[in-house]
A and B are shown apart, each in its own frame.
Chain A
Amino acid sequence: MENFEQLLAAHSFFKGIDAKYISRLAEQATPVSFKAGEYIFHQSEKARQFYLLNEGKVAVEVPTLVHGSITIQTTGQNEILGWSWLFPPYTWHFDARAMEATNALVFDGEWLRGQCEEDHELGYAFMKRISETVVNRLQATRLQLLDVYGIHF
């Protein structure tokens, strides 16, 4: 447990969060490992987990009929994976596949939602961090769409 607390406290997602929440969250954290190539979740499945990645690398993919799976983003150490557990309809929008051996701490999304509803201070801290991640990824996606290496720039 103490080890989980240390892992949570050191993770950039929880930077600055009150220590009392670290203890509470550590009680519910479960360590998981994925082998290279293993799928962590699939598009359209129920989104029940929130992953804090501690080691490794994960590809977020879109399955297509013609081109197979297309990687739209990679995420890794000290980053998070998955926020669909937080918003209806609670289903994954993409596939996630470990690109290399990956270790994470996983939380039950329904439990986390309940905690955020019960304790709005925790809910605010969580939403602030999730929002920051979403904004960062939105900005990165916009930049990606601009095709900045094209001849127009």
Chain B
Amino acid sequence: MLPHLFRVHQVHRETVDTFTLQLDPVDERGAVSFVPGQFNMLYLPGAGEVPISVSGDPAQAKHLTHTIRSVGAVTKVMDKLKRGDLLAVRGPFGTHWPVEEAEGNDIVIIAGGLGLAPLRPAFYQVLSDREKYNKVVLLYGARTPQDLLYRHELERWRGLLDVQVEVTVDSPVGGWHGDVGVITTLIPRGHFDPARTVALVCGPEIMMRYTVMELEKREVSQNKIFVSIERNMKCATGFCGHCQLGPIFICKDGPIFRFDLVKDWLGKRDI
């Protein structure tokens, strides 16, 4: 898979360490189409290449949108990109959220921290096909109010009459008037029927493990829970083996997995 050049159309600062890039293909070879849950390899010559989930609207075919947290050597350089700068993109890669497969069911989207970015395309798709789902629930947790992504959209989504959106923070600094507590505390409050629920979960692995436990307490079946796993992806094609988790190559077989198929490998040491 060859990289294609993209130009930065817009940089939007989400939080102190997280930003969203809107990218335009330099020529017709650059693909902006994707399905929710897929990722691209973003490459900056001299800095390196990183896997980043697409965070934009899959129905909007003009720009490619990625939300990036500035934590490593490559993303810290990407944090300095400005409108007009170039970077290279390989992809899209990977499996997708089962958004269409969930039609006719309740759908519960549970995001922790930056985990809302890979789930946002799924939520956009659900909203655009709202009549195809029964109850729609979005539960979102972040460390502080200042760490919440897409605040304007969250406010708009909370105003929708046919969607339940609950947001909580672990630590309420700076005049926060919403819920306080970890993401798992929102799950008992979700208005969904466990017997007909498909749950999409994304966040730090430890958050996903406890989230799944809470979903199981509500008797959501493990084969109706989908998680996004992101570990050490380097080549994105299953060749290099960096992201191997037991028999699974996350970049090729994932990053979206049905929970019951990967649960034995999550939380295992030294793999």
Q: Is the CB of A148 within 8 A of B204?
A: yes
Give the distance in Å from the alpha carbon of A140 to the alpha carbon of B176 in the complex.
19
Q: In the assembled complex, which residues on chain B have CB atoms less than 8 Å from the CB atom of A71?
A: 172, 176, 180
- Which chain A residue lies CB-closest to B142? A149
Give the distance in Å from the alpha carbon of A136 to the alpha carbon of B185 in the complex.
8
Q: Is the CB of B71 within 8 A of A72?
A: no
Which of the listed residues A12, A79, A99, A148 has the most CB atoms from chain B within 10 Å of its own CB?
A148
A28 within 8 A of B: no
Q: Is the CB of A149 within 8 A of B147?
A: yes
Q: Is the CB of A149 within 8 A of B113?
A: yes
With A12-B188, A71-B172, A77-B189 as known contacts, state yes or no: A148 contacts B206, CB within 8 Å. Answer: yes
Q: Is the CB of B182 within 8 A of A140?
A: yes
Q: Is the CB of B185 within 8 A of A59?
A: no
Number of interface residues of A (CB under 8 A): 25
Majority SS of interface residues in chain A?
mixed
A144 within 8 A of B: yes
Number of interface residues of B (CB under 8 A): 29
Shortest beta-carbon distance from B31 to chain A in Å? 31
Q: Is the CB of B204 within 8 A of A73?
A: no
Majority SS of interface residues in chain B?
mixed
Shortest beta-carbon distance from A17 to chain B in Å? 18
Partner of A149, one of B180, B189, B204, B210: B204
Q: Is the CB of A148 within 8 A of B180?
A: no
Q: In the assembled complex, which residues on chain B have CB atoms less than 8 Å from the CB atom of A140?
A: 181-182, 184-185
Within 8 A of A (CB), among B172-228: 172, 176-182, 184-185, 188-189, 203-207, 210
Shortest beta-carbon distance from A43 to chain B in Å? 17
Q: Is the CB of B206 within 8 A of A73?
A: no
Q: Is the CB of B180 within 8 A of A147?
A: no
Q: Is the CB of A149 within 8 A of B205?
A: no
Q: Is the CB of A147 within 8 A of B170?
A: yes
Q: Is the CB of B180 within 8 A of A59?
A: yes
Q: Is the CB of B71 within 8 A of A153?
A: no
Give the distance in Å from the alpha carbon of A151 to the alpha carbon of B203 in the complex.
12
Q: In the assembled complex, which residues on chain B have CB atoms less than 8 Å from the CB atom of A78?
A: 188-189
Q: 19 new A-B pairs (CB below 8 Å) besides A139-B210, A140-B184?
A: A12-B188, A71-B172, A71-B176, A74-B179, A77-B189, A78-B189, A99-B177, A140-B185, A143-B184, A143-B207, A144-B171, A144-B182, A147-B170, A148-B112, A148-B203, A149-B114, A149-B203, A149-B204, A150-B143
Binding site for A on B (CB under 8 A): 71, 112-114, 141-143, 147, 168, 170-172, 176-182, 184-185, 188-189, 203-207, 210
Q: Which 9 A-B residue pairs are closest in the complex by CB-CB distance? A: A149-B113, A153-B204, A149-B143, A143-B182, A74-B179, A71-B180, A148-B207, A71-B172, A74-B180
Binding site for B on A (CB under 8 A): 12, 57, 59, 70-74, 76-79, 99, 136, 139-140, 143-144, 146-151, 153
Would you mind naming 29 contact pairs between A and B with Cβ atoms under 8 Å apart? A12-B188, A59-B180, A71-B172, A71-B176, A71-B180, A73-B181, A73-B185, A74-B179, A74-B180, A74-B181, A78-B188, A136-B185, A139-B184, A139-B210, A140-B182, A140-B185, A143-B182, A144-B170, A144-B182, A147-B143, A148-B182, A148-B204, A148-B207, A149-B114, A149-B141, A149-B142, A149-B203, A153-B206, A153-B207
